[in-house]
Amino acid sequence: RSSKDEPECRLTSYQSFLDILNEMNDYAGQRELIAENLMMNICIDLTKYLQELKQERKTYLTEAKKAQQSLESTYKQLDTSKKRFEREWREAERAAQNAEKTDQDINATKADVEKAKLHANMKAHTAEDCKNDYASQLQKYNKEQSQFYFNDMPDIFNKLQDLDERRIRKLAQGYILFSDTEKHVMPIIGKCLEGITKAGTNVNEKNDTMFVIEQNKSGFERPGDQEFEDYSQGINRASSDSSLGTPKGPMDLLGKNKSKNFWLFTRKSKFSSSMLTPFSSPPDPLPSNGSPSPKFSREPLSYCLKEINKTVKPRISSFRTLRRSPTVTEDFAHLPPEQRRKRLQQKLEEISKDLQKEVDQSEALEKMKDVYEKNPQMGDPASLASQISQTSLKMERLKVELNKYETWLAEAGARGDTLRYKPNVFNNNGAHDALSPDGAHSDESTPDPSQAIYAEFDDDFEDEELVAPIGECTAMYNFPGASEGTISMQEGEVLAVVEEDKGDGWTRVRRNNGDEGYIPTSYVSIRLNK
C-alpha cells in the first residue's frame, strides 16, 4: 500500500475485512489438511488393500479350478479302468467258452485243449487284474470326490467369505477414520468461525464515517452574507483627483474579493454529459435488479453446442447399440422367462427406491414450507412451489412405471411356473440340489462321461480366462488408475487392447504380467488388428 492510503487502516470495516481474510485462510488450510489426511490415510490405504484382496481372491479361484480339474482327471482314469475291465472280462468269457468247446470237440487234440485252457486262464487272470484296478480307481475317485465336495470347496468358500468380511470391515474403519479426521479439526474451524463473528461485531460504522469526515474536511470557514453594492451613488458623486487615486466605491470591494475561492471543494466537479446536453434522450430504464434487459439477445456458443449435442449424441449411441448388441425391449421379453423375471424384479426395486426418495424429498419440502410459513424471516414459502410441483410430477411418473412393471412381472411369473430353472446350488456344507436344468429329475442314473463332472464352476471361472487381445495401444499421458476397475500407465507404455471403447470413453487393456483394467480412450493411441 502507498503511504497516502495508510490512514484507511484505521477503519474498523477495513480491519474486520482483513481479519475475515485471515480466518478464511486458516479455515481453508484446515479443509486442505482434511483432504490430505483422507488421501494419505484412507484412499491410498484402501486402494492398496483392494489390490491385495483382488490377488487373494484370484488365488482362491485358481485353487478351486485346480481342484475341479483334478477331480475330472480322476474321473477319466476311473472311466478308462472301467471300460478296460469290461473289455477284458468279455474276452475272458469268450476264451472260457472256446476252451470248453475245444474240450468237447472229439476231433481236437490234447495239445489244442491244453492251449485253449491256458489261454482261458490267462484271460481270466487279466480280467481279475483289471477288476482290481477298477475297484482301486473307484475307491480313489470316491475319496477325492468326497474331499472335493465336503472339504476343498467349502474351505475355499469360507476363505472367500472371510475375504469379503475383511473388505467390509476395512471400509467401516475408513468411515470411522473420516469422522475422526473431521472431529480433529472441528475445534479449529469453530475458532475460525468465531473469529469471523467477532470481526463482524467489531465494525463501528459511526467511527468510520467520523474518521472519514475528520480526514477529508477542508477547514475553511463558511462564507458570510454578501453586502449590497449600490452603483447609483457613483453617478451623483463629482469626480476629483483624490477620488481617482483612492477609490472607495463598491467596485473596489469587488476587486478585493476577486481572488477568493468560494467553491465548497478544492476541485470543481466536471459537468456530466447529461448537463451539457439537456435535451438529449433519457437512458433506458433498468429493471429492479439493476441489470439491463435487452429485447433481443444472442445465445452463447456453448449453449448452441449443448443443443447440438442433445440431438447428435443419442443417435451415435443408438447406432453403437444396434451394431454391438441385440434389440432390447422395455419389458425384457427378449430374455428367457427366469432371467426376465429377475430383471423385472430388479427394475421394480430400482423404481421403488427412486419413488421412496421422491416421497422423502416431498415430505422434506412440505416441512420446510411449514417452517417458512411460521417463520417468514427464514424464507419465502412460494419459492418452494416449483420444487414441490416437480417432485409431485416425478412421483406420478414413477407410480405409472411401477404399475407397468408390476403387470409385466405378474405375466412373467405366470409363465415362469411352468418353465422352472433351478440350477445345482452348492453351499458351504457340501449339500446340493440334484435337479436337471428343465426342473425335472433326470431319468439317467449315470452321467455322460463326455461331459464335465462339475460344469457349474466353469461359468464362475470364465472371467479368469485370458481373452485374446484385439490390438495394442501406446500411452500418450500418465494415468494414475486410482479408482475401482482402472489400471495405471506411464507415458510411452505399450499395452494390449482387450476390449474396444463402447462409447463411454474407456478402453480395457492388459499388461504383459496379466494385470487388466480400464483406461481413458483419449489418453492412448490405439492400433487394432485387421
Per-residue model confidence (pLDDT) at position 425: 37
Q: In the numeric block, which cell numbers belong to residue 44?
A: 491410498
Cβ-based neighbour number of residue 316 at 10 Å: 10
Edge-to-edge strands, sheet with 471-475: 516-520, 506-510, 494-499, 471-475, 524-528
Per-residue model confidence (pLDDT) at position 5: 53
CB 347 within 8 Å of CB 405: yes
Q: In the numeric block, which cell numbers belong to residue 453?
A: 463332472
Per-residue model confidence (pLDDT) at position 8: 66
Q: Which residues contact 322 (CB under 8 A, 6 or more apart)?
A: none
Per-residue model confidence (pLDDT) at position 247: 44
pLDDT in tens, 85-118: 999 999 999 989 988 888 888 887 888 888 888 9
Prediction pTM value: 0.35
pLDDT in tens, 130-187: 999 999 999 999 999 999 999 999 999 999 999 999 999 999 999 999 999 899 889 9
Q: Which residues contact 452 (CB under 8 A, 6 or more apart)?
A: 72, 458
pLDDT in tens, 349-407: 999 999 999 999 899 888 888 888 888 877 888 888 888 999 999 999 999 989 988 88
Per-residue model confidence (pLDDT) at position 274: 38
Per-residue model confidence (pLDDT) at position 194: 92
Per-residue model confidence (pLDDT) at position 251: 43
Which residue positions in the chain have pLDDT lower than 50?
A: 1, 3-4, 237-300, 304, 308, 310-326, 414-464
Q: In the numeric block, which cell numbers belong to residue 275?
A: 448537463
Per-residue model confidence (pLDDT) at position 73: 93
Place of cell 456344507: 429
**82-94 b/e with 16+ CB inside 10 Å = b?**
bebbeebbebbee
